[in-house]
């Protein structure tokens, strides 16, 4: 009798263990099914295939509306340090965002080259990117090729030097009153400040920006989209193709149309880059050290 009781207990225990195993396995299967595979109306998406699509046109939440009075800094080297230190973080942030857009664009391009269909969300994202970068074409190959030329960084040093040149190291009326560091124009009445030297019959104004960051963002978008700077984008594309670094001096050759001074303007920019590159490098290192301390 005692032997039968032990046998029955062993049988009950085995059944209980088997039942528990079946329940756990079922729960794991349900969990994996609910989190790993979903449909977006274009076929099943395999686990891990869904990825975040970065926002194309980000909102500037805490822009710098007050421009320092750089004219009060009489020491030239100190003024340069203050000016570059003020602008550089905004330039770095915009370039980092552009690189995230470019990485996603490259991933979706590879997906298309492999003959895989884009999801509805991915197609919508490509449409938003095309609108922001002003690309209009029904040819998908041309669309991706044009976007890959446009969705790319502008070297920090080039941005800083053009800002210094166009704004008189941040002392110009347009930099101080309109937060416009690159001399960008607009053509809507009241969109900016009317320059005193504007010829009769012209309607342009020097654009007013809500923040310094907005000025930086608009300038980089201008270089990446306007037909006048196709050469700059071509130079940058060739550097990418040859796996060479994207640096300031080579890209200056694509800025002839930025100023009526033409080649003299390019020569001046290149000279300013050579003179100020060491200062910019010191500031860049200081920012990196601060980020490491804070991180």
Q: Which residues lie across from 38 on neighbouring strands? A: 45
Q: Which two tokens stand for residue 214?
A: 């907005």
Residue-level pLDDT at 50: 58
**Per-residue pLDDT tens digits for 58-80:** 999 889 999 999 999 999 999 99
**Per-residue pLDDT tens digits for 167-217:** 999 999 999 999 999 999 998 898 999 888 888 888 899 999 999 999 999
Exposed, middle or buried: residue 132 (CB in 10 Å: 0-12, 13-18, 19+)?
Answer: middle
Q: Which two tokens stand for residue 199?
A: 């010829």
Q: How many angstroms separate the first and last alpha carbons of the chain?
A: 71
**Per-residue pLDDT tens digits for 13-60:** 444 444 444 444 444 443 444 433 333 333 334 444 457 999 999 999
Q: What is the pTM of this model?
A: 0.81
For the chain, the domains span 2-36, 70-294
Residue 140 above 80 pLDDT? yes
Please check whether residue 233 is in contact with residue 222, taking contact to mean a CB–CB distance below 8 angstroms: no
Binned at pLDDT 50, 70 and 90, residue 242 comes out as very high
Exposed, middle or buried: residue 248 (CB in 10 Å: 0-12, 13-18, 19+)?
Answer: buried
Comparing 54-68, 93-107, 187-201, 223-237, the range with the smallest average pLDDT is 187-201
Q: How far apart are CA 48 and CA 87, in angstroms?
A: 38
Q: How far apart are CA 67 and CA 178, in angstroms?
A: 9
Q: At a CB cut-off of 8 Å and minimum separation 6, what does 58 contact? A: 97
Mean pLDDT (the chain) is 86
Domain 70-294 architecture: Orthogonal Bundle (1.10)
**Per-residue pLDDT tens digits for 248-263:** 999 999 999 999 999 9
Residue-level pLDDT at 292: 84
Residue-level pLDDT at 158: 98
Residue 151 above 70 pLDDT? yes
């Amino acid at each position: 009798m005692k032997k039968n009781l032990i046998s029955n207990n062993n049988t009950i225990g085995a059944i209980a263990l088997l039942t528990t195993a079946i329940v756990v396995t079922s729960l794991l299967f349900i969990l994996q099914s609910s989190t790993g595979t979903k449909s977006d109306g274009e076929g099943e998406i395999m686990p891990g295939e869904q990825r975040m699509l970065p926002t194309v046109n980000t909102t500037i939440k805490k822009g710098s509306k007050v421009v320092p009075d750089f004219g009060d800094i009489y020491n030239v080297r100190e003024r340069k340090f203050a000016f570059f230190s003020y602008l550089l973080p905004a330039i770095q942030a915009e370039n980092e965002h552009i690189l995230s857009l470019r990485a996603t664009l490259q991933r979706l391009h590879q997906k298309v080259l492999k003959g895989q269909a884009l999801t509805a969300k991915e197609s919508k994202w490509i449409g938003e990117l095309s609108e922001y970068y002003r690309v209009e074409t029904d040819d998908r190959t041309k669309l991706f090729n044009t976007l890959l030329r446009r969705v790319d960084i502008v070297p920090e040093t080039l941005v800083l030097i053009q800002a210094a040149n166009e704004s008189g190291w941040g002392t110009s009326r347009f930099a101080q009153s309109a937060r416009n560091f690159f001399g960008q124009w607009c053509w809507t009445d009241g969109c900016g400040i009317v320059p005193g030297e504007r010829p009769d019959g012209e309607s342009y104004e020097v654009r007013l920006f809500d923040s310094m960051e907005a000025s930086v963002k608009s300038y980089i978008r201008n270089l990446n989209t306007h037909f006048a700077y196709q050469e700059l984008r071509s130079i940058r594309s060739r550097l990418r193709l040859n796996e060479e670094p994207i640096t300031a001096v080579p890209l200056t050759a694509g800025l002839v149309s930025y100023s009526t001074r033409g080649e003299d303007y390019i020569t001046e920019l290149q000279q300013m880059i050579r003179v100020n590159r060491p200062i910019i490098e010191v500031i860049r290192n200081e920012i990196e050290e601060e980020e490491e301390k804070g991180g």
